[in-house]
Amino acid sequence: MFYLCGSVDSLRPVLYASSEGDAGIIATELSQALALMVGFPYWRDCLKYSASGDLGAMESASSFLFRDMVANDPDIEIEQSRAAEALRLTIEPISVLVARLHAAVKSAGSDFVFMDETGEYGGLFGSFSPSRNQSWQ
């Protein structure tokens, strides 16, 4: 689930809550969240392999994830361009998107907790490092 937070009069951060019980801010505004999803569809996996929020680990994981993304869908860049054009977005380099994602997740602070009727969610930074993935060796 995605939630626009804040009042309509202000900048509205985007919160993501996964079906696995993790939640957090992923972007400072809707256009940045859309740019992340279009420009780097594997952003959730990048968080999973963030070594508990280490930007260097996320940058390393993003390189492998980009390689896998292109291998799985050789036409991905064409599809991304079409989506970006339809949404009037600029496709940013993955390094920029990863840095923004890292900053957004960290911006909520270590004491941030999202809770709904199912209970309390954990944070978005995963504990795995990129070296944990055997196919990235």
Supply the pTM of this predicted model: 0.92
Q: Are strands 14-17 and 2-4 parallel, antiparallel or unpaired?
A: antiparallel
The answer, yes or no, to whether residue 112 has pLDDT greater than 90, is no
C-alpha of 19 from chain center? 15
Check residue 111 and give its pLDDT.
Answer: 83
How far is the C-alpha of 98 from the C-alpha of 16, rounded, in Å?
16
The amino acid present at 92, given as its one-letter code, is: E
How far is the C-alpha of 101 from the C-alpha of 15, rounded, in Å?
11
Confidence of residue 52 (pLDDT cuts 50, 70, 90): very high
The answer, yes or no, to whether residue 10 has pLDDT greater than 80, is no
Q: What is the mean pLDDT of residues 122-131?
A: 94
The answer, yes or no, to whether residue 137 has pLDDT greater than 80, is no
C-alpha to C-alpha distances, 17 to 4, 7, 39, 40, 87, nearest whole angstrom: 12, 19, 20, 18, 23
Check residue 75 and give its pLDDT.
Answer: 96
Confidence of residue 9 (pLDDT cuts 50, 70, 90): confident
Q: Is 51 helix (H, G, I), strand (E, B) or coil?
A: coil
Note the pLDDT tens digit of each residue in 71-109: 999 999 999 999 999 999 999 999 999 999 999 999 988
Q: What is the mean pLDDT of residues 38-47?
A: 96
